[in-house]
Chains A and B, each alone.
Chain A
């Protein structure tokens, strides 16, 4: 599949579990993002990576840990989450994060439920 792919599509985890979300982009973009989408709330930016370096971290709790091993892959490691962390987690990419082609291409998201 071309574009931005995310796995898994759905995830149910307990508060003591450790899991990881994966995102892969096949667009040759230099920037990747994690967004959180909760019901009745705006899309919230969590992390931005540009050329594999983190350039933005919007005061996200440490129980969320991003990793960007290369410009095509982005992970979000989860541990000891809370029920209020249940949401749709969207990955996105863009050509550049610093004023270049700023159109965001989103993945289909991972619907996370924390029990």
Chain B
């Protein structure tokens, strides 16, 4: 079964602190792993895509790592800002479909 888990479900940090969001998947036969941001009641915004052959991907303050052998991916957000408050979802691609975690809801306190 292709399950994706995100821990913790929620976290609150003061502005300026670095964020570390975890994602684990049970089936390592992924095509890629994608991180998304979701604001309340809205759709998903793609943040980073890591191909199965890559170890990490970076975009601005965001860095995502992938370890297929251990079934883990981590999203790092440097120097968090109140505007980073949102739910972050990871999704593992298995052929034609994405399997999502339930997300980590982040609150950055000013």
Say whether A associates with B: no
| A contacts, CB < 8 Å to B | none
